[in-house]
Structure formats: structure tokens, C-alpha cells
Amino acid sequence: MKNSVGKRAQRVDGLAKVTGCAKFVADLMPGGALCAKILHSPHPHAEIVSIDTTAAEKLPGVKAVICGRDYPLHTGLYHVDQYMFAMEKVRYVGEPVAAVAALDEKTAAQAIDLIKVRYRKLKPNFDPIHGMKKSAPLIHPNLHKYFHVSAINPVPHTNIANHFKIRKGDPDSAFKKSFCIIENRFHVPQIQHVPMETHGAIALAEQTGRITVWSSCQSPFTVRYLMANCFKREIGDIRVIAPYVGGGFGCKAGINIEPITVALALKCPGRHVKLILTREEEMYTVVVRQACHIRIKSGVDRTGRILAQENEYIWDCGAYAGYGVNIVRAAGYSICGAYNIDNLKGDSIGVYTNRPVGSAFRGFGMSEIHWAIEQQMDILAHELGIDPVEFRHINALKPGSHNATGELVTVNTGNIHKCLDQVAADLGWGKKLPKYRALGIALAQKAPAMPNNATSSAVVKFNENGGVELLFSGMEIGQGVMTAMAQICAETLEIPLEKVTVVGLPDTDYSPYEWQTVASRLTFSCGNAVKKAAEDAICQMKIISAGIFKVRADDVVYKNGVFSHKNKSIELVQICMGYQFTDGHTVGGAIVGRGHFTAEGCINCDPDTGYSPKPVANWTFGAQGVDLSVCPETGRITIHKVSCTYDVGKVINPLTIEGQAYGGIVQGMGAGIMEQLIVDEQTGMVKNPSLVDYKIPTALDMPEEMTASFVETAQLDGPFGARGVGEHTMIPTPAAIANAVYHATGVRIMDLPVTPEKILSGMHGLDFDSKDSNAKPEQPVSRSKKKRGRPPLYAKKWDRVKR
């Protein structure tokens, strides 16, 4: 490419200069801001008998005390099921019950202690499988009254928040024809996002009724929209400003603590109210990644072709599912991963429990389902004596095949086979390795899980020297979107990258609209909007040039900052602010290019069959492999190398895409070998709500070597052919690790994370019984019994029938 796209452009976002959102804004406020604190529920499920705030209100320095009776308001993006404060009952430990605003943090904390709440305990449920039974306590008796978007299918008068179905072909008949049938169960626990910056927000309610919010969020326009709905205000009455975000990974998508901050500000007109969560509050009082119980039953023929499959995902949505129901949907239309299976039965079911609230997390359900899918593929290959790479080649999607929803795969959908071959080559697949050292591989697919009407917009404003100011509202959360958008703009305008200035950070009063910074969608969606805005500017200047040349605009040629027709030419800088003729009269004016983009042709899946000819905007495919060794004495894993290859359509910036790849690998390692949010099933309390007990990877845990490479099968409607890849390298990492551990030790771990204790117990044939595990060990469930149960922590055998 000519100027910017595809080059290792340095970042333009200046992240190193930025401090936390709330501190940064509060420091600018004369007299400082009022400090807010939240009173959280100590019970997982209990009726609220009474709330007495009298003592807290009388404490000197307290400016506001609020609870559910003050603001009995619902919120939620896809499913409006959550109160700002608990009303009749609490549904998880950590749920907001009341809040205060005071002159300082100490006074606010004292006021929280003075609020008296009487509870009547109710029977909790922490198991989504039990939650599906009629005997389970109803977490949301009014589920049938909640508003939800059309793509969500709750089951009234149950705990099922969403049920997505896939019915394709005739699985029953195909299973009867299968040479081998294998059924397994897997489990994925809840984990935490652990952003470097915890949730923070500041709100100001003016005497005029105007509300301004500064929020560390991924979605300022969605926050504004949901806030207007929640408080029954006009959208124009609310302004949201979003500074740089110190890590998101999905936990700052949608809306979180902002309504509480606004509610307090409305009680203190003219005063800024600041709410910053502590690390412990961050760990369990806002949102976490959902847990999932998985069952996969596969039937294959003698050649290794999958003839039929049943995939069942029982999602633990936690106490609320306003965002989590869309994860259930995404897992549904991606039910069997990147495989071509003609006969398929799939059920993705989201169930309310009394655990912390499940929500978006990097990968949006794909890491969870691929943990099971990619191990199942290895198990099938092993049983049939087929190489795992070859088995995937036999069954992976290719042009002419149809995915789970019936969508036709074309040559431009993406080439997962190239990705697989590249990773196998990078790892030296098939090479002889020492004892207890082995390779593992896994595939991945993901689409941007967004509404069909999710849109992006951008503005390009020219200045006097021919440079441009680029305005868009994709959030910079460390992924380098500001750099990528500047490159797309420069490439389209055919001007040097230095001529592009990315303006500020999103402010809903002044910035162009952006749905959300989620779903690995910005390069594709926002990138298209930026490209269209730049093209619109060129079109305007062609019209001006045509008037100067006295020709049709279609006859004007633009190249490298110069407009020309035959032997006439004029530079961009001469007309971008209007052109003045020698006699003084002027044509044109300051050029402002406008662009917007919404993916075309997406159709909701049929609620009974899951069929859709185009359920999503696009798919990104990839493969990942791991080279690791296991210490036979301790079970400790050493990861020597991780290699990944993804078909991204077009690499916009090699430097930032490599950073995304390596970051995803390491975050996937954390989910794979160490991370788990542990809930006490007697009290509902989280047992590891700090970084002392909740472990994430550090520099000492990094693989010895990481490689990333990319295939470029152009996305026809992508900017320069690009599609997203921000989340994808996290998706297959845990499964690739588990497959390598099996090849090294013969121990098959079914329950994340893959810990030394589980490996060692499996190697020595012991029953691993950890009191800190939420998935109780038990033997695999036989096909003949056909009962649901929790998965084994490890298994050297699996349920199978050969014919």
C-alpha cells in the first residue's frame, strides 16, 4: 500500500501521559468532588425487609443517601432485568443496596456503616444445571415482564434468560450411521477481567437538569442511551465524556456504575460526585466472565468425518443477564466452532444463579466453547488414530460448506486451513520431543457479536495546511485504534500519516456516533466509516476541482494529494479550504468529510432452528499451537513456545497487531492455567477477591517464545480488506494447552484451569478434590444413563461407542 496501511506506524495515542479517568477529572474540579460509596449485599439471595438510612443522613459531611425506593429503575442493554439498587430482594453478594455521597471518602465509608438493612434469607442457587429444574428457586419471578431485544429468547416463569437453538439436518439418523460416538462434559469457571484501572465515574447534575458523566467506559454513546432510558430523560439532556480507559476486556462495555453516580449527583445539584471502585469491589460487585457447563456428543465415520454432533452449553449468567444473554446468543450461532457438520443439534442456554453478574469478556463466549470443542476434536482424532492436524483439515470449514446457521462459506470468508498449516509448520508438528514434552493445537473462529443495526460514524476536517483532523468515537483501551484509524484515513486521502491528527477522546456532545468498542469490530466498522469520510472529502474536492477545470467531476483524477485533468492540476492544500481565483471570487469552502457504516445483509437467526444466511457481519478464523513440558514430580507446566496464525483480511499495522496477538496469548494463558473466581456455595462470598489470591500472569509466566503470523484473505466489505482480530488470540489458548498436556502426560483435563494439582493427580491416578473448586470431581457420565452431571476434573477415558 502507498502510505500508511500495512506499515509499522508508531502509536499516536500518547497513552503513557494518561492517569486514571476519575482522578484525572476530579483534579480539575474547583473544591474537589464529593466521594461516593456503595453498600453491597452480604447475602446471595435474601428479601429486603427494611432499610433505615436515618443515621447515615445525619452524619456531618454526608450530602446524599439513596436506595432503591428513591430510584426504582431498571437498566440493561439486551435484556432490561437489573435494578439500579436491589428492590424487593438481593440476588448476589455484592449487589448494590444503597449509596452515599460525602465530602470525603472516610465520611462516606462511615455513613455506609450506619445504614441498617434487615434481610430475610432465601434459598440460593449457584448451579445453572439445577437452576433449570422446576424445583429450583426463581431468581427473577418477573422475568416474563422484562423487555428484551428480538434476538433474545427467555423462557417465562423459569430461570432461563435466553435459549438459542440450532437444528440442522438429522442428527439422530446420522448418529446411527456413525462408526464411533464419543460424548464428553467440560466446565469453564467464572473469571475476572482484572483491568489495571478499576471502574470509575464522575457525574454532575446542573440546576438546569443537564447531566454530564465522565466514565471509564468502552461505550460512551451506549451509556448515554441507557442512562436516558433508565432516568426517563431525553438523550440530549445527557452528556458522556470518556477519557483513555485503563483496560476494559469487556467489563466496561454497556453500563455499570454510571447510574449510581448520576442518581447521587441528582441529589446534589451543582456538585461533582465521584465513584471509584476498590480492587475488591472490582473483583465481584460489577461483572465477571460467565461460567459454562458443556456437553458435546460427536459421531464420526471411519475416515474421520464428523457425521453428527450435539453441543449443549449451560451458561451461568449470574444474578443478572442484561449483557450475558448476548453471549449465549453468540455461542449459539457459533455452536460447533469452525467445523463443517451437516447434522447438528445445538442448545445454548443462559441461566440465572446467585453468583456474580456474568457479562462480556474478551472473546465473548468463544474461549469458553472452544475449550470444549477443540479438546473434543483431539479426543476424536486420538480415538480414530488420526493426526490432530489432519483431523481438523478433514472437518474444518472450506469454500462451499455451510456453517452452523446454514451460511455459505466462500473463498472470501477466510482460510482456516492456511492458518492451521502455518501454525503446524511454526511448531515443527510431528517432530520427536523428550518425554513429558509435547505439542498441542486448537482452531478458533469468532464474529463481531453486535446488533444488526450497530453503526459507526466519522468526520474528517481539513485545516489550512492540507492536514486533517480525524474525529471518531472508538475508545482507545490500549489496542491502538487511534493509530489504525489515522492510517486508514491517511491511506485513503493519500497523504502522509503525519498530516492526520486524531482529535481528543469521545464526547457525546461533539463526537460522531459509535455504538460500542467491543466485539473486535472497530477496525472493520469504524475503519469503514473513516474510509468513507475521507472518500466523501475527496469527492467534495473533486467537484470544486471540476469547476476550476470546467469539466465533469467524474473526469477529475486524484492521486497523492493532487487533483488533475489532462495537463491541468491543483494541489489538495489549494482547495481544501475553498479556492480563490485571481479576480478574488471564491468557490467551495472548508472541507468536512462525513462517513458512516453499518454492516449490510445480516439476518436474525430463526428462533426454532437457528438458520440464517448471514447471522453476522463477518468471521475471523485462526489457529494456535503450544509447545510445553510438564514436570512429572510437581505437575508444573513450562510453556516453551506459542505460535498463532489468523486470517485478518489485511494487516493495517504489523506492530499493533502483533501486540494484540501476544497480549491475547498471555491473557489466554491466565484463563488456561491459573484463573478462577471461587464462590463459597454456602455463603455466596467470593473467596479470592484480591490479587493476593486471584492470580494472573506476570512477566515471569510469559512463554519462552511467541510468534504471530497472518493470512490475508480480503474481507470484501472491510476497509482495505481488513477484519477484526483483537480478541481472537485468547480464544484457543486454553484448549491448545490442555491438548498439549494430554499428549505429554496422558491426562485429559476437562475443567479449567489446568493446574499442576490436577495434572499430578491425573498422572498418579488419584482423585483430585479441591475445596476451592466450584466444579466437583466425579466420574464421566455414561451414555446409557443420559443424566446431567458436573464434569470430571480429569479423565483418561471418555464415553464412547464403536460400531
Q: How far is CA 233 from the centre of its chain?
A: 29
Are 423 and 623 in contact, with CB atoms under 8 Å apart?
A: yes
Q: How many CB atoms lie within 10 A of CB 33?
A: 23
Backbone angles phi, psi at 114, to 5 degrees: -85, -10
3-state secondary structure of 203: strand
Helices (H), 2-119: 21-26, 54-58, 105-114
In CATH, which of 1.10.150.120, 3.30.1490.20, 3.30.365.10, 3.30.300.30 is domain 365-448+607-756?
Answer: 3.30.365.10
Domains of the chain, by residue range, sit at: 32-122+199-276, 365-448+607-756, 453-598, 769-802
Helix (H) or strand (E) holding 151, with range, is none
- In this chain, the answer to whether the domains covering 365-448+607-756 and 453-598 adopt an identical fold is yes
Q: In terms of Cα–Cα distance, which of 628, 641, 624 is closest to 741?
A: 628
CATH of span 453-598? 3.30.365.10
Along the chain (803 residues), what's the average pLDDT of each consecutive run of 10 residues? 66 43 52 93 98 98 97 95 96 98 98 98 98 97 96 97 98 98 98 97 96 97 97 97 94 97 97 98 98 98 98 98 98 98 98 98 97 98 98 98 98 98 98 97 98 97 97 94 97 98 93 97 98 98 97 97 97 96 94 98 98 98 98 97 98 97 98 98 97 96 97 98 97 98 97 97 73 39 31 44 54
Are 211 and 205 in contact, with CB atoms under 8 Å apart?
A: yes
Give the CA distances from residue 130 to residues 351, 372, 406, in Å, rounded to whole numbers and listed in that order: 10, 21, 32
Q: How many CB atoms lie within 10 A of CB 494?
A: 17
Fold of the domain spanning 32-122+199-276: Aldehyde Oxidoreductase; domain 3 (3.90.1170)
Helix (H) or strand (E) holding 131, with range, is helix 128-131
Q: Which one-letter amino acid corresponds to residue 531?
A: K
Helix (H) or strand (E) holding 624, with range, is strand 620-630
Are 361 and 289 in contact, with CB atoms under 8 Å apart?
A: yes
Q: Before 434, cis peptide (omega within 30)?
A: no
Q: Which one-letter amino acid corresponds to residue 321?
A: A
Helix-strand-coil split of the chain, %, nearest 5: 25, 25, 45
Are 359 and 195 in contact, with CB atoms under 8 Å apart?
A: no
Give the CA distances from residue 788 to residues 130, 332, 783, 796, in Å, rounded to whole numbers and listed in that order: 10, 20, 10, 20
Give ∠ CA 298-302-305 in degrees, rounded to 5.
50
Cross-strand pairs, 455: 598
**Cα atoms in the 13 Å half-sphere on the side-chain side of 276:** 18
3-state secondary structure of 539: helix
3-state secondary structure of 36: strand
